[in-house]
Amino acid sequence: MGKVYVFDHPLIQHKLTYIRDKNTGTKEFRELVDEVAGLMAFEITRDLPLEEVEVETPVTHAKSKVLAGKKLGLVPILRAGLGMVDGILKLIPAAKVGHVGLYRDPETLKPVEYYVKLPSDIEERELIVLDPMLATGGSASEAITSLKKRGAKNIKLMCMIAAPEGVEIVKEEHPDVDIYLAALDEKLNEKGYIVPGLGDAGDRLFGTK
């Protein structure tokens, strides 16, 4: 069964408070999402494989370590997942980026896929699926299914805020996928919004409504 990690790092929790705040405007919201994504990525990438290399320092030769294997793949779920990409690329600039376009039908709350473009060799890469919100879990689960259909084998899911319902769906449908969160909230409301949540992540990031 996939594990669920909630990052309680004080910097993540502090920034998340201002992300939730309805008085935080688009510019600041974007900056905070970017920063939290970077901080979460720092924690998630703890187990990336390393290999030893020789490096010449100004003083002598040293054995030191660099990341090994295929470059990591980031897969934001459009639109709101895009807000998490740059903060991670600041730390891992060589990561490849794929995109999965999904929107949630407002009536049925079911995800509708409209775009998929992925890096090559995804079966050999570790992929991190990015979406600020894990609500019913339909979008994340569908995105992961879409990646697996195309050969992906090693997938992590990184969301800022989740509802228990969404976590359960992903655990059930994708028991091989670990989930990384900044907060696990209380519930979904009748419109499928996370409570207390942060509202509509895409609208707040892109200034739409």
**Collapsing DSSP states into helix, strand and coil, what is residue 99?**
strand
Within 10 angstroms of residue 133's Cβ, the number of other Cβ atoms is: 26
Contact letters for ligand PRP, residues 5-24 (x by CB under 6 A): --------------------
Angle between helices 138-149 and 164-173 (to 10 degrees): 20
Residues 6+ apart with CB under 8 A from 12: 36, 39, 40, 182
Burial of residue 198, with CB atoms counted within 10 A of its CB: 0-12 exposed, 13-18 middle, 19 or more buried: buried
Residue 194 lies near ligand URA (rule: CB under 6 A): yes
In the region spanning residues 114 to 153, those forming contacts with ligand URA, defined by CB under 6 A, are 133, 135
The verdict on 136 binding ligand PRP (CB under 6 A) reads yes
Segment contacting ligand PRP (CB under 6 A): 6-14, 85-93, 130-138, 147-155?
130-138
Is 200 labeled as catalytic in the residue annotation?
yes
- Please say which residue, 178 or 200, places its beta carbon nearer to ligand URA: 200
Q: Which of 20, 30, 34, 104 is catalytic?
A: 104
Structure tokens at 148: 């697996």
List the catalytic residue out of 21, 108, 121, 208. Answer: 108
197 binds ligand PRP (CB under 6 A): no
Please tell me whether residue 135 binds ligand PRP under the rule CB under 6 A: yes
Binding part of the chain for ligand PRP, among 15-23, 46-54, 78-86, 171-179 by CB under 6 A, reads 78-86
Q: Is 160 annotated as a binding residue?
A: no
Q: Catalytic residue at 108? A: yes
Helix and strand numbers, DSSP H then E, in the chain: 6, 15
Encoding tokens for residue 141? 């689960």
CA distance 96 to 120: 9
CA–chain centroid gap for 204, Å, is 17
* Residue 111 touching ligand PRP (CB under 6 A): yes
What does the binding site for ligand PRP look like in residue numbers (CB under 6 A)? 77-80, 103-104, 109, 111, 131-140, 166, 192, 201-202
* Residue ranges at the known binding site for uracil: 194, 199-201
Task: Just list the catalytic residues.
Answer: 104, 108, 200, 203
